[in-house]
Amino acid sequence: MLTARLHGIADLRVGDEPEPAAGPGEVLVRVTAIGICGSDLHWYEDGAIGDAKLSRPLVPGHEGAGEILTGPRRGERVAIDPAFPCEACRACRAGRQNLCYNIVFSGHGVTDGMLREVMPWPSHRLHPLPDTVSDVGGAMLEPLGVALWAMDLGQVPFGGTAAVVGCGPLGLLLIQLLRAAGVSRLIAVEPLAHRREAAAKWGADEVLDPTPATASAASAASAASAASADLPAHDFSAYGVDVAFEMAGNDDAVHIAMESVRPGGRVVLGGIPGSDTTTFRASLARGKELTIAMVRRMGEVYPRVIDLAARGVVALDPLVSSRVPLADASAAFADAQRRTGHKVVITPSA
């Protein structure tokens, strides 16, 4: 079977490997669609994500859908939940399976992921897909689940206001959820023009470019001697939203989120910084007495996101800008790196 395996930074090799065997409690799944996530790009660009480092050639991929090949559920179309918690540690017993001390996660650490034609996975972590949800839509359920979990952590008041800073696929899904949840005003902040356009299309009331403007000399005569200066793009503190969501993974986005929220509000940090470090002005956060929530993947929300997708509450397939065969996985990652579209999906069955 074809498999894409990451051997080192930007060294993704596609080749034939033996079909795996299913272990106890597992079934074999024919993988039909896998989304490339920002965290996959961290593995590809840095050979690491957070405190986890590439220790052996790894099959990436954790946003997926497929068809069960073995066992009593054979032939069933499913969304593949990438997380397999132990159900026994303190976090699991407290109902926080996403924080499991012993979690096994697809395409992370030493656990091979979904960028292959067939994979074994625990049967109880495979969720039936309704006929109204495509295979590509099924792969989009994982980022939708992260967006929904971020919204849960944000505790957005009904009829309240929100800002989304960073409008990649995850931010665009969050915008759709916030609009469906009844926010009265929704601000989106994004430096890339095509993502700003998408944010407006999917529900943002106001879309802002955070890129600073440049002040230049007023006339050609003075231009040679006048120094240019960066001017603030916006006074984000004027917006005063109830909750701000940072989904970009950099300190500038964190600062904008903290500026845009009202005193006593909440800031949800969902982006993953490449340096594994986030910094912000303590005086800004302390002066507003902000509550800061950190997102760790998602809780047990797959049934909720499947229901949302089946009812058409959110658009999934239209967010996919590129579909690439597994044989061209390296080209797909290069496409995702350029960030000229939205979600890149690899389709092994193609």
Q: Note the pLDDT tens digit of each residue in 234-256.
A: 899 999 999 999 999 999 999 99
What pLDDT sits at residue 227?
Answer: 39
Type of residue numbered 275: S
Q: pLDDT digit string (tens) for 214-236? A: 544 333 333 333 334 566 778 99
What pLDDT sits at residue 223?
Answer: 38
What is the chain's alpha carbon radius of gyration, rounded to the nearest angstrom? 21
User: Domain 144-294 class?
Assistant: alpha beta
Q: With bands split at pLDDT 50, 70 and 90, how would you rate the model's confidence at 51?
A: confident
Q: Contact at 8 Å (CB) between 179 and 336?
A: no
What pLDDT sits at residue 212?
Answer: 80
Give the residue extent of every domain in the chain. Answer: 2-140+316-347, 144-294
Chain centroid to Cα 327, Å, comes to 24
Instruction: Quote the CA–CA distance of 53 and 55 in Å, as a whole number.
Output: 6
What pLDDT sits at residue 229?
Answer: 53
Q: Is the confidence at residue 329, as pLDDT, over 80?
A: yes
Q: pLDDT digit string (tens) for 153-165? A: 999 999 999 999 9
Q: Which of 142-151, 186-195, 205-214, 234-243 has the lowest mean pLDDT?
A: 205-214
Percent of the chain past pLDDT 70, that is, above it, reads 94
CATH homologous superfamily of 2-140+316-347 equals: Medium-chain alcohol dehydrogenases, catalytic domain (3.90.180.10)
Prediction pTM value? 0.92
